[in-house]
Chains A and B, each alone.
Chain A
Amino acid sequence: MKKPNPLIRNFCIIAHIDHGKSTLADRIMELTGQVSERDMEDQLLDSMDIERERGITIKLTPVRMFYSADDGNEYIFNLIDTPGHVDFTYEVSRSLAACEGALLVVDASQGIEAQTLANVYLALENDLEILPVINKIDLPSARPDEAKKEIEDVIGLDASYAPLVSAKEGLNIKEILEDIVRYFPAPSGDLDAPLKALIFDSYYDNYKGVILFVRVKDGSVKKGDRIKTFRSDKVYEVTEVGVFAPGLYEKSGLFAGEVGYIAASIKSIQDVAVGDTVTFADEPAAEPLPGYKKVQPVVFCGIYPLDGSKFNDLKEALIKLRLNDASLVFEPDNSVALGFGFRCGFLGLLHMEIIQERIEREFSLDIITTAPSVSYKVVKTDGSELFVDNPSHLPPQSEIDHMEEPIVKVDIYSPPDYLGPIMDLCREKRGVFKEMTYLEANRVQLIYEMPLNEIIFEFFDAVKSRTRGYASFDYELIGYSASKLVKLDILLNGEACDALSMIVHEDSAYSRGRTLCENLKEAIPRQLFEIPVQAAIGGKIIARETVKAMRKDVLAKCYGGDITRKKKLLEKQKEGKKRMRTIGSVEVPSEVFMQILKTNKD
């Protein structure tokens, strides 16, 4: 058995959104000379526009660096940047599996934040060494000692040696690099064993085919090797291997302990799922590496092209997005109101938003999205069962014996001060109290069982706002339970709009119906005729609002000099109409389909 290169350190950074993770990554790259100052762009690893704009990391991004440590050795650092939001835990778990250590970045003035915890626990589960780093010590409000104490109290990590840094000012960054060398273990594994490489991400390159992001655990791989994965029998010949610098940088081989990429003219992503293990076709390893927890989409919504003829473009976009986001699922769907589109499944609401935004930006497609939903189990009177995540696919009421909705176990972690508000919220959201445990003096774990559909209705925001951001929560599906669910239909000018239907609990149907009608009344522009907006359950009207007929829509004057200008105004008005869908005779702005939920107050 031959050990991997002891001078390699594979690590990631865990931080709450806005605690300076990407900036710290920038500084580390700068200090290791990975990026010259000339090429330095802020938040280098967040290459997607959305990431830069929102200041968040969505995709993990690996990069390799060299560091000449004080001990005289030159170390190889592989940094894998990871997302911070709870919806992207899946992405995080993937990058963690490729590392031996994690930097835990904590804002010196804000202390540890809830979301960070989930990722810290994930890292501990993966046996990662964790090094706390106190960032933003340049701020006047910095309280590094309190932050340290918090880390010790809340997580139970020794934070006495945590470096105090300012990523923004470039202060004490070197200390972190020395600590990485000192505290993070070198990779384990066996260079002589048959190849075992964990695929932690992939994307499609037009020239090279699928590019696999791998962490080599055992053995080595080079150009010309014949490889396969455990889940498929297809054999590929490696055309290129290399590392991330941070762009692709070809090397002669990848060895145990290293992080890099493999290209093998792979045409179909289906055969090389993320989480799978790459091995040699002719001399395979005995068993695969443990993969990741398989994720199930929990939130669903319809995505339709605004321009019906762009259906194939939308399909293409979704396929490309799935290449590096295996958690996205979709199938074709069609709606009377919206035409042909896709029913898509996501890991959470933020994930859904991000995908929608990426479709619009990266593929320049205008889309319409419907309200998010969960997957319900419908037991029909003839005893058969089916799952329905699209309200408009629900069988007629007369054929339904009963319906069951997904129930999740929700773990909420919070300082004790906020228990009252959290419990109130859980009760409002039909939660059933299960357990409360004091994990530490300052941290309580609450366990509730709750319908998933209540969680997708702004639960996340409510938890955050009621606890000033201190509480965090995680949920897992535990099963289905019978529930009094009804389909709430929306009628515009007397015609049901399938894209606006939703499945709700009977008890909240009236209030939700009312809110929906009120919201729609605000969102639908006045037209030439009066439009009744109604909510109905099985033909019974439960709420009504009216969009009054428009009374003035005219250009008062129109003489010689005005004609061109007026023509342009009308063209603009016409352009605005393009973003509308006609339902029956009513024109509905495309944003309405999504907004309805957002404006819904809890």
Chain B
Amino acid sequence: MAGIYVHIPFCKSKCSYCDFTSFPDKLCFAESYMACVYREMSFRRKELKDYSFDTLYIGGGTPSVIDESYIGMLIASARKNFNLAKNAEITIELNPGTVTADKIDFYKKCGVNRFSVGLQSAIDSQLEDIGRMHTAADFLECARLLKGENFNADVLIGLKGQTAADVLYTIDFAAEAGASHISMYALTPEDGTPIYTDYLNGELPDADEVAALYQAGFNRLKELGFIRYEVSNFCKRGKESRHNLNYWRRGEYIGFGVSASSCIKNVRFTNTFDLDEYFKCIFTEHLPVINSEEVDEEGQKFEYIMLALRTAEGLDAHEYKKLFGVDFFEEHKAALKKVGRYLDTEGDSVKIKDEYLFVQNSIIIEFLEN
């Protein structure tokens, strides 16, 4: 199992918490950019000829701001260069207010079968506060267009002044509108983003408050029949994002476009974050990779544990042994002794107990070798 990620670094405006590579003022370069992405795919064709991919994820930025025909060509190019399974999961990120019925129809025609909508909050004042361009009503319109489709709604917790009631309202709103998948993220104020100032000024809810919001959201999602399959991801039965599960299972993936990262044969590498640099590389027939690091076995093991323990499914000691040739329980005896009481262990399966999933770092680092 392997995945393809494509980064579309354009958007209408930058949200105040956004730490992704995205250029609200460079939409005019979309055509050249996409041509470069197709070209970049062809550079990798030979290298990846033996791979079969079963997910394609088009993220950003806001992929829905560029003309839908580019998305069509993108998917065609992916199919032309790689073995992308017939029933591949193909996801595109959308923002409410950037789509029309025609656009969605076209996406569907091209094979897109999963959508991820940036709702964030169903309260307009909060949306405005974080610099979102849309309203709650725009989301409803978008959801209407996606009726019957498999779609995710992103929900942020930890917004300025946000109460548990606000979170519940937003979750109900998304579920009612037909979302089959809800990603509930805690806002992470990154240095350099506008919201970081709010964070420094102490205007954002503190860790305890965020934990309470999360707990409230978690309970409601459970009531609504959403299953938590990863710390921040909830879905109706069978609607897990296969693309993201691949990350958490330490699967291989290849990324295209600025800032995209990849992990192929235990080498992690990242493309340049600079748009001009990206163009320059592609036009001179170079890979736009800026750093590349081979993950040693110890690193692989830790990544495996760190990622697996994020998921509700947890870690499979049988697979661990298959991958690394050692017994998980034997190798991590000391760590297990220390944090065993926060884990549920059943046969080969090891997972963090529900009530500790939100304090998982302290547990996971015990598995890190000195």
Q: Which residues of A contact B (CB under 8 A)?
A: 527-528, 550-561, 563-564, 566-567, 570-571, 573-574, 577-578
Give the residue name and chain of the B residue nearest to A563 (CB).
B303
**Cα–Cα, bound, A554→B208 (Å):** 12
Q: List 14 A-B contacts (CB under 8 A).
A: A551-B212, A551-B359, A552-B186, A553-B360, A554-B359, A556-B232, A560-B247, A560-B260, A561-B260, A567-B302, A570-B306, A573-B361, A574-B365, A577-B365
Q: Please state if A560 and B253 are interface contacts (CB–CB under 8 Å).
A: yes
Q: Which residues of A are found within 8 Å of B14, using beta-carbon distances?
A: none
Question: Closest chain A residue to B361 by CB distance?
Answer: A553
Q: A527-B362, A561-B259, A563-B247 are in contact. Are A552 and B210 (CB under 8 A)?
A: yes
The reply on B283 being an interface residue by CB < 8 A is no
> Which residue of chain A lies nearest to B188 when distances are taken between CB atoms in the complex?
A556
When the two chains form their complex, are residues B255 and A550 in contact, meaning their CB atoms are under 8 A apart?
no
Also in contact, A563 and B362, with CB within 8 A (given A558-B247, A571-B368): no
Judging by beta carbons under 8 Å apart, are B306 and A564 in contact?
no
Using Cβ atoms and an 8 Å threshold, which residues of chain A touch B248? 558
Bound complex: CA of A242 vs CA of B359, how far in Å? 66
- Besides A552-B207, A553-B207, A563-B247, 11 more A-B contacts (Cβ < 8 Å) are A527-B362, A528-B339, A528-B363, A551-B358, A552-B210, A553-B360, A555-B361, A560-B255, A564-B293, A570-B361, A570-B364
Most chain B CB within 10 A, of A554, A555, A563, is at A554
Q: How far is the CB of B189 from chain A (nearest CB, A)?
A: 11
3 shortest A-B CB distances, which residue pairs? Answer: A551-B211, A561-B261, A552-B207
Given A527-B362, A555-B361, do A560 and B5 touch, yes or no (CB 8 Å)?
Answer: yes
**Which of A556, A563, A570 contacts B368, CB < 8 Å?**
A570
Q: How far is the CA of A550 from the CA of B206 in the complex (A)?
A: 12
Interface of B with A (CB < 8 Å)? 5, 185-188, 207-208, 210-212, 214, 231-232, 244, 247-248, 253, 255, 259-263, 268, 270, 293, 299, 302-303, 306-307, 310, 339, 342, 356-365, 368, 370
Distance between A93 CB and nearest chain B CB, rounded to angstroms: 48
**Contacting residues, chain A, for B253 (C-beta < 8 A):** 560
Q: Given A556-B232, A563-B268 in contact, is the A528-B356 Cβ separation under 8 Å? A: yes
CB-based contact B357/A570 at 8 Å: no
**Which of A528, A559, A578 is within 8 Å of B362, CB to CB?**
A528
Contacts of A555 in B (CB 8 A): 188, 361
Chain B residues near A559 (CB, 8 Å)? 244, 247
Q: Is the interface of B mostly helix, strand, loop or mixed?
A: helix
Q: Given the complex of chains A and B, what is the CA–CA distance between A553 and B356 in angstroms? A: 9
Question: In the complex, A578→B21 CA distance in Å?
Answer: 35
User: Can you name the residue of chain B whose Cβ is closest to the Cβ of A573?
Assistant: B365
Q: Which residues of B contact A557 (CB under 8 A)?
A: 185, 188, 232
Q: How many Å lie between the Cα of A302 and that of B253 in the bound state?
A: 54
**Complex interface: chain A residues within 8 A of B263 (CB):** 560, 563
Q: How far is the CB of A563 from chain B (nearest CB, A)?
A: 6
Contact assessment for A564 and B268 in the assembled complex, using a CB-CB cutoff below 8 Å? yes
- Residues on A with C-beta less than 8 A from B212 are 551
Please measure, in the bound complex, the distance between the C-alpha atom of A553 and the C-alpha atom of B363, giving whole angstroms: 9
Alpha-carbon separation in the docked complex, A558 to B186 (Å):
12
- Docked complex Cα distance between A560 and B5 (Å): 9
Q: Please, how many angstroms separate the alpha-carbon atoms of A77 and B244 in the complex?
A: 78
Chain A nearest CB, measured from B342 CB (Å): 6
| Complexed CA–CA distance, A539 and B98 (Å) | 69
Given A560-B262, A561-B261, A563-B263, the answer on whether A553 and B307 have CB atoms closer than 8 Å is no
**Docked-complex contact B303 and A553, CB < 8 angstroms:** no
Across the interface, name the chain A residue whose C-beta is closest to B362.
Answer: A553
Provide the bound-state CA to CA distance between A560 and B207, in Å. Answer: 25
| Assembled-state Cα–Cα distance A574/B368 (Å) | 8
CB neighbours (8 Å) of A554 from chain B are 186, 231, 357-361
Contacts of A567 in B (CB 8 A): 299, 302-303, 306
A102 to B360, CA, bound (A): 65
Q: Please, which residue of chain A has its CB at the minimum distance from the CB of B185?
A: A556
Residues in B with CB closer than 8 Å to A552 are 186, 207-208, 210-211, 214, 358-359
Q: With A and B bound together, what is the CA distance between A573 and B359 in angstroms?
A: 13
For B356, list chain A residues within 8 Å (CB): 528
Contacts of B357 in A (CB 8 A): 554
Residues of B within 8 A of A564 (CB): 261, 268, 270, 293
List, in ascending order, chain B residues with CB within 8 A of A558's CB.
247-248, 307, 310
Q: How far is the CA of A555 from the CA of B247 in the complex (A)?
A: 15
A557 to B310, CA, bound (A): 10
With most chain B CB atoms within 10 A of its CB, the pick from A558, A561, A567 is A561
Are the CB atoms of A528 and B359 closer together than 8 Å? yes
> Which of A528, A551, A561, A563 contacts B208 (CB under 8 A)?
A551
Bound together, the chains give a CA A554 to CA B365 distance in angstroms of 11
Contacts of A573 in B (CB 8 A): 361-362, 365
* Contact status of A566 and B306, CB under 8 A, knowing A554-B357, A554-B358, A560-B262: yes
Is B342's CB under 8 angstroms from A528's CB? yes
Task: Tell me the smallest distance from the CB of B139 to a CB of chain A, in Å.
Answer: 21
